[in-house]
Amino acid sequence: MVLTAPPLALYLHFPWCVRKCPYCDFNSHTLQGELPQETYLAALLIDLDTQLPRVGSRSVVSVFLGGGTPSLFEPDALGRLFEKVRASITIAPGAEITLEANPGTIERGRFTDYRAAGITRVSLGAQSFAPGQLEILGRIHSAQDTHAAVAELRAAGLDNFNLDLMYALPGQDLAGALSDLRTAIALQPAHISHYQLTMEPGTVFGGRPPAGLPDDELSFAMQQACQAELAQAGYAQYEISAYARAGSQCAHNLNYWRFGDYLGVGAGAHGKLTQPETGAIARTVREREPRRYLTRGHTDAPAAVPVANVDLPFEFMMNALRLVEGFEEDLFETRTGLTWSELSAPLKSLAERGLLESIPGNASGWRPTELGRHFLNDVIAAFLPTRPGV
């Protein structure tokens, strides 16, 4: 099959937080001293410039400022950053430009300035509206801060915003999970990311889980009840933990899940690039620790490590199977350069077990069944390559 270049996105990582949350396994670091704003933004531009030769004349379809806490950076500084980014690479007209924000770092009028700087979408880390839960989660904001931040978003005309919300929190019961969700829905975000608290390795909670975590049965009951509540409120599930009103799906994340390309710029940022002329798909990564990232200077592009063909089915499915709508066979072929027939064995096995199905009325479309979505890790693992001696 012919490998084609998919849409290209840009991810900019901002690694600092006021405080590191005990559940967080992202590349975030507690800010010590003054924020090195100008130094870091200059490093981002150098980093981007070193990677541009790999994408040629391709334009960017979406931009995501993630963290960490990008909202620690001043709006005017981000505005200057975008001016220089646009001078280096074409950002498609109407491209979605998302800023992750902590409700505890937003001052009055700040979202108006972010919008003026070029931000078109905001992802707000609410996580919970219960004071006790916010304290356990190590959040620096209150429920009132989230309400105030949403009011600021509305005043700035940024109606396209997401609320991050967790369930299965320590000591939480079904009524508590539904109360949190109903409070979020009442704020009328365009998008809600609703996901279960998990104990990730390498985190504080991973080493010392908090007391009172709901068991699997209660967690599943929360998931089902909350999904029904979201659907009734007009939020359609389009990914394992993502729900949106019509037309408000996150374009940047959809590009990930459809195995698109992305430039990863900043401390610890990951990238994926397709090179049709060589038939290669490569991954990149920058140093995680901010001080090392700044010290190095990044006059060279990050190493591009090719993804072996034997690993591509797993890499593709790890993303595409998160989508409720599923995907087309030709998407797999054009995004990996492999033929669909190479997947016949795992597909047959998963279909027989009721975990994967052909989309009704679409012979070339595939998606996880409802059972498959509940056991998605098992479904994805079926595409892991078999290696000699393993």
Residue 277's pLDDT is 87
- Let me know if domain 309-390 sits in CATH 3.40.50.300: no
User: What integer best gives the mean pLDDT of the chain?
Assistant: 94
Most confident among 146-155, 343-352, 358-367, 371-380 (mean pLDDT): 146-155
pLDDT at 239: 96
pLDDT for 390 equals: 46
Residue 189 near residue 153 (C-beta atoms within 8 A): no
Assign 106 to helix, strand or coil: coil
Please write the tens of the pLDDT for every residue from 202-223. Answer: 999 999 999 999 999 999 999 9
CA nearest to 354, candidates 336, 340, 373, 338 = 373
- Judged against a pLDDT cut of 80, whether residue 115 lies above it is answered with yes
* Paired tokens of 16: 């600092």
Give the Cα separation of 177 and 151 in Å (integer): 23
- pLDDT-derived band at 128, boundaries 50, 70, 90: very high
**pLDDT, greater one: 108 or 63:** 63
Residue 92 CA to residue 113 CA, distance in Å, equals 22
User: Are β-strands 8-14 and 60-67 bridged in parallel, bridged antiparallel, or unpaired?
Assistant: parallel
CATH number, domain 8-255: 3.20.20.70
pLDDT digits over 91-101, tens only?
A: 999 999 999 99
pLDDT of residue 388: 53
The span from the CA of 166 to the CA of 357, in Å, is 29
Query: Residue 361 pLDDT > 90, yes or no?
Result: no
Judged against a pLDDT cut of 90, whether residue 281 lies above it is answered with yes
The DSSP annotation for 233-251 comes to TT-EEEETTEEE-TT---H
**pLDDT beyond 80 at 298:** no
Residue 287: its pLDDT value, please? 93
Enumerate the domain spans of the chain.
8-255, 309-390
Q: Are 28 and 81 in contact (CB under 8 A)?
A: no
170-185 per-position pLDDT tens digit: 999 999 999 999 999 9
HEC-encoded secondary structure of 289-347: CHHHHHHHCCCCCCCCEECCHHHHHHHHHHHHCCECCCEEHHHHHHHHCCCHHHHHHHH
pLDDT of residue 387: 57
What is each CA distance from 283 to 106, 302, 319, in whole angstroms? 34, 9, 15
The model scores a pTM over 0.85: yes
Burial of 150 (0-12, 13-18, 19+ CB in 10 A): buried
Q: Looking at 102-219, which runs of residues are DSSP E strands? A: 121-127, 161-167, 191-196
Cα radius of gyration rounded to whole Å, the chain: 21
The sign of the CA dihedral 286, 289, 290, 296 is negative
Calpha distance 281→4 (Å, rounded): 10
